Amino acid sequence: MIGRKKETKFVESPSRRSFMEAGSAALAAAAFVGLTANAQQREDTRKAEGDRSSSNPGQENKALLNENPNSNMPPPTDHGDIGPIWYSFDLARKRVEEGGWTHQVTQRELPPSTEITGVNMRLTRGSFRELHWHTADEWAIMLYGNARVTVLNPDGTMFIDDVSKGDLWFFPAGFPHSIQGLGPDDGCEFLLVFNEGMFSEDNTFLISAWIAHTPPEILTKNSNLNQSAIAKLPTDELYIFPANLPGSLAQDKAAVGGKSVESPIRYTFKMEAMAPTKKTSGGEVRVVDSHNFPASKSVAAALVTIKPGGMRELHWHPNASEWQFYLAGKGRMTVFMPPGRARTMDFNANDVGYVPPVAGHYIENTGDTDLVFLEMFKADQYVDFSMNNWIRRLPPEMVTSHLNIDEATIKKIPAENQAVIAG
């Protein structure tokens, strides 16, 4: 930490458990967004940390403070307020059904995130996320277990596939699809990402709800259903519900018509199994966008692994805001915005991070295990700029004029975009 002393005490902040019990996104915003609402000056902060100004003789929630040391007592380089850049799925209310659960982080919980919503979902073995479709495109990554997914194309062709940990899928807006948990594990868990900030997983088009709100005589006229068949139809939405395990993938493909109705478009992709796009001694990055996953036309992603002490180098993205999901480890991120504003936050597994469009930032591994997270963008391709690469592509005298360092020092700066730098 910059200028941090071990005996420094921290300002009181509500606990993560109290957020959950209160069920209020406003509490989280008050605790974390407002910590740097008043601009701090670097020299004033350094002086304060050298005396008792930062001490707190009152009550403290040490568990929360230990999780968020840089959030509560930011480094002296932080300045001003850039708005919320953190939320956690552990604060989001779970909707629990027989067969699984779901919870989400939308623009309501993280107001600046106008382009992306995240949904974390669990299905037990055999259970369905029922046949449905959305107003937004759906990108997903499998976090645990196995699942079978289906999606129908407008031309009547059908895509069916099985996905496992580290696999992706992409379903365009309006395309009807389903997800079913498989064995041998107890179903699956996955992260869904939608390209609408105000999207809600509760507001999807469900086949059960549509049928329940359609007059019986219309169902008879439309689908040749008799009264006994209509009497068996659902009268309310299913959403998530238990069912028997399906047959093999080959059996399901044959049952729907085989090759004659097979989709020409592949809607799944094996992200975790692909070779790293970039790999250094500090970690690795796997980039998936429309270049290598053509179906994913509106969501680009990178799976980043940073080794202890390493960092995602100083960089920015010119084409979209960045929505992050932290899978493992501990890290901290600083986001830089004009005019001279900077904000540092700590991140743990199950947390969500946000970086405004084109804002400079870095992510550092502050733990003793690998830091693993996803970078998500509402874009058809992944694009980033490296500060190091920029500096090294400029004439040396130009850099000297701006940064007051000589040519020999400039040459010590990495010349290429490394993505991840070792500690």
Residues with a catalytic annotation lie at 375
DSSP state of 266: -
Q: Between the CA of residue 219 and those of 207, 222, 326, 408, what are the distances in Å?
A: 13, 5, 46, 78
Asked if residues 88 and 352 have their Cβ atoms less than 8 Å apart, the reply is yes
DSSP strands (E only) in 223-273: 240-241, 268-270
Asked if residues 121 and 102 have their Cβ atoms less than 8 Å apart, the reply is yes
Nearest alpha-carbon partner for 134 in 212, 192, 218, 211 = 192
List of residues 6+ apart from 172 with CB closer than 8 A:
137, 295, 297
Q: 404: phi > 0 → left, psi -120 to 50 → alpha, else beta; which? A: left
Distance CA 38, CA 42 (A): 13
Bridge partner residues of 104 (DSSP) = 119
Report residue 166 CA to chain centroid gap: 14
Please, where are the H alpha helices in 142-215?
A: 207-212
Q: 229: phi > 0 → left, psi -120 to 50 → alpha, else beta; which? A: alpha
Bridge partner residues of 285 (DSSP) = 278, 304
